[in-house]
Structure 1
């Protein structure tokens, strides 16, 4: 299935990107405070390359000896490449992931042999322990050695934006990596040896923290910076709660995940990351985090989140620091979200077979609105699809608006969607509204924090008991006439 080689670390991926013309080295000094953000967003909006800042200027005015990598996944092509795929192969990989979640029964030896790629993927999820991991070749004195960005003018301070935070449940030994959780939670730098971890209550890291707190014990935490692309993307994927992102990353990488025991905490860490920050989160110890610019395009409020006490920082020789910036789309997370949209579609179709396409518009913060194209067969079907989606995955519980359209509508074309809404929807009949449902507390439009309404718009042709009127007939030309006109006009118009 893979069309690209396995990338065991960030460096190998950057080497591939540079050879493909998808990496630019910037030798001019660029300030880590606010200025670097302008470079990242300009490159992303132009569909440009990943950036390597050779002279990232720190708060003291001196360039950092550690280069900064940014805009790594600034195009759909590079997100797909991080999974070892061409963009055209993403839907196929999504079908493969759907089959891994719920494999069909094997029917005979021929069928069993055809499943070999799936078996190989399952074997790739078994991590490999390294005795001399590259990430422990050297140590850094403290957090001030890292070239951490302050992305936006209203931000409270330096913010680690691409951390892969590694945690485990209290009742498991360090070797039980199949129980680990990896999450991308932003981390505010408070001082040389203190960080604030912003994990929301429904995330895996927060669930682990509650278990350690109930036991009255400090929780070991590792923050891996500059991981290989498969591990980075796995940490961001909406995987089932029972699946460890650490072990799963072997599937998109096409090779086993290499791990090693941390130096100062009882935890296994990615062996080929660029940098690993080790430390402890003590029960009840919090600090005020924020405000920071968020993916909504607004600054979020300052709130208390867990405090992490750093015990060690290990790194590779000549380490790289990976960064990104979040803000109103388009930003790097929204580009990743576009690819994840295509990965999720087969999973949705496995549960709701009448779904032909699903689009989460990036401009709607990648998940707050969904347009669903269905093969409609019976009255009320559009509403059933809406309710099924809201209850299917935790991520869809934050989708405020769902628009359902027929199979003759392109769900990813706003002109088509608006035409369907304008001609197939009656506000009094075809709008479903629900109150007091879960919502991202960063949604300032919500009347209550964490609770909001939802709206479903049935923009499908009404059939059966849905209407008492004869429905209009859609106008269309004879395809043969259209083809002949196109052929002749192409000669006339050049």
Structure 2
């Protein structure tokens, strides 16, 4: 696996994209309210470049003070680049990350040296503290200085969409960054110094907030905007709760994370971010957040969430503002999700060895449906694998449908999957339905908020006790004949 050169900040990543002809500068005026969303999604659906809006405008047509960057991870290639690897190496990098999570015992010096890349990655997780961080070169007066989008026509107001929210548990020291949590939680601007943080109850930020609230103390929070790609993607990765995204980001970056003490709150913050919003979340201070367009393709309901009271906004001397849009796939999160699917496959195989491939179709909101290909050896194995995915792996707790197929089926090809469903699945025998299981409360199809049913479809060939009939024999051509046919056609169609 060949690693790309490290990108210590967003600017280095943009320079790499521009050198590859993968960045477009838009000088024409583009409105932050709704219009920019249309441009972003059009670029993403064409597999287009990173966009830099140099003339974003507000509701009155006035030019925003900062350039807006978007569609950063609009292609699989750029997501891989953000991880410091080539697209073809995503699977290998996933295996590498799986080994970091559960490394085998080292046997002798030769084995240790063979694993040097892994050891170097582990060392890269130790942050480096900067005394004069670039993100504190200047300050912005208030949130009104940020060119925040209002993405969809039914949205409640301006929404910060790529914030990396930094928190730590109550009782921890500011220097204990291994206990920090970084999460990408959308943030609604409701005033010049007030920001609603939408963190769900099961997320790390919410868990930290409950600890500070129990102690009756305000919680320090930092919101980093325009972080380097490795930090952005690490904050979005489903890492174990015991792993800090801040320290882990050194692994994909291939270089130590640079941090610095915040200016007004007791936290360490990313030193090379473009902008950092600092402040406090006071116990009981909430406001109705939303409605906003969500990844489901629907607007979610307004609900109370914590409010951040801003104490300072530090920034670079010429900051860039990073933004994205969330909606019905394809969108930027769904592109990232496709790559994360491949990264997670080695971890899944380590726990369920018979899994050969697994696909989370982006059109199914990136996780609502899964197709799993297995090496089937015994009756009932497909059902066991489906139950294992739902029960063993937390990331599948919101997956409402699993389709299991055999090793001769391309799990990522709907034509293959539908053929298997049509010829290997009997609805009366091969459906597994369970009720009262956890579900994303944004799933409006659920009869009860947060609880719903799940369905498993066994589209594998039935063997032994699974059927009393002789099974059909699949038709295949001789590979030698297919190869000769290809050569003949190449000659006559050249």
Q: TM-score, normalised by structure 2?
A: 0.99
How does 1:59-208 map onto structure 2 within 5 Å? 59-208=59-208
Q: Which runs of 4+ in 1 moved over 6 A?
A: none
1:310-358 CA distance string (max 9 Å, x none): 0000000110000000100000000000110110000100111110000
Query: Separation in 1 of the partners of 2:286 and 2:71?
Result: 31
Query: Separation in 2 of the partners of 1:146 and 1:60?
Result: 15
Equivalent residue number for residue 370 of structure 1 = 370
Once the two structures are TM-superposed, the CA of residue 4 in structure 1 deviates from its matched residue by 1.5
Equivalent residue number for residue 31 of structure 2 = 31
Query: Separation in 1 of the partners of 2:392 and 2:230?
Result: 25
Equivalent residue number for residue 461 of structure 1 = 461
How does 1:207-286 map onto structure 2 within 5 Å? 207-286=207-286
How does 1:385-464 map onto structure 2 within 5 Å? 385-464=385-464
Unaligned 5+ runs, structure 1: none
Question: Which secondary structure state, in structure 1, belongs to the residue aligned with residue 151 of structure 2?
Answer: coil
390-399 vs 161-170, greater mean Cα deviation: 390-399
Unaligned 5+ runs, structure 2: none
Once the two structures are TM-superposed, the CA of residue 115 in structure 1 deviates from its matched residue by 1.0
Query: Separation in 2 of the partners of 1:391 and 1:137?
Result: 48
Query: Separation in 2 of the partners of 1:178 and 1:2?
Result: 28
Question: Which secondary structure state, in structure 1, belongs to the residue aligned with residue 235 of structure 2?
Answer: helix
Question: Which secondary structure state, in structure 2, belongs to the residue aligned with residue 429 of structure 1?
Answer: coil
How does 1:229-378 map onto structure 2 within 5 Å? 229-378=229-378
Query: Separation in 2 of the partners of 1:185 and 1:392?
Result: 26
1:48-86 CA distance string (max 9 Å, x none): 000000011023321112000000000000000001111
2:405 touches 2:411 (CA, 8 Å); kept in 1?
yes
Once the two structures are TM-superposed, the CA of residue 161 in structure 1 deviates from its matched residue by 0.3
Query: Separation in 2 of the partners of 1:375 and 1:326?
Result: 36
Question: Would you say how many aligned residue pairs link Structure 1 and Structure 2?
Answer: 494
Once the two structures are TM-superposed, the CA of residue 112 in structure 1 deviates from its matched residue by 1.4
1:255-274 CA distance string (max 9 Å, x none): 00000010111111000000
Once the two structures are TM-superposed, the CA of residue 392 in structure 1 deviates from its matched residue by 2.6
Query: Separation in 1 of the partners of 2:442 and 2:52?
Result: 31
Query: Separation in 1 of the partners of 2:318 and 2:64?
Result: 12
Query: Separation in 2 of the partners of 1:145 and 1:109?
Result: 56
Question: Which secondary structure state, in structure 2, belongs to the residue aligned with residue 234 of structure 1?
Answer: helix
Query: Separation in 2 of the partners of 1:109 and 1:244?
Result: 29
Query: Separation in 2 of the partners of 1:66 and 1:394?
Result: 39
Once the two structures are TM-superposed, the CA of residue 111 in structure 1 deviates from its matched residue by 1.2
Question: Which secondary structure state, in structure 1, belongs to the residue aligned with residue 131 of structure 2?
Answer: coil
Question: Which secondary structure state, in structure 2, belongs to the residue aligned with residue 100 of structure 1?
Answer: helix
Question: Which secondary structure state, in structure 2, belongs to the residue aligned with residue 398 of structure 1?
Answer: coil
Question: Which secondary structure state, in structure 2, belongs to the residue aligned with residue 428 of structure 1?
Answer: coil
Query: Separation in 1 of the partners of 2:485 and 2:122?
Result: 53
Q: CA RMSD in A?
A: 0.7
Query: Separation in 2 of the partners of 1:470 and 1:12?
Result: 61
Question: Which secondary structure state, in structure 2, belongs to the residue aligned with residue 113 of structure 1?
Answer: helix
Once the two structures are TM-superposed, the CA of residue 284 in structure 1 deviates from its matched residue by 1.1
Once the two structures are TM-superposed, the CA of residue 2 in structure 1 deviates from its matched residue by 4.2
2:65 touches 2:146 (CA, 8 Å); kept in 1?
no
Shift in CA distance, 436/383, structure 1 to aligned 2, threshold 3 Å = same
1:344-397 CA distance string (max 9 Å, x none): 000100111110000000000111110000100111111111111112332210
1:8-63 CA distance string (max 9 Å, x none): 00000000100101100000000000000010000000000000000110233211
1:112-166 CA distance string (max 9 Å, x none): 1111111100000000111000000000000000000000000000000000000
Corresponding position: 1:41 with 2:41: yes
Query: Separation in 2 of the partners of 1:145 and 1:391?
Result: 46
Query: Separation in 1 of the partners of 2:394 and 2:39?
Result: 34
Equivalent residue number for residue 16 of structure 2 = 16
Question: Which secondary structure state, in structure 2, belongs to the residue aligned with residue 171 of structure 1?
Answer: coil
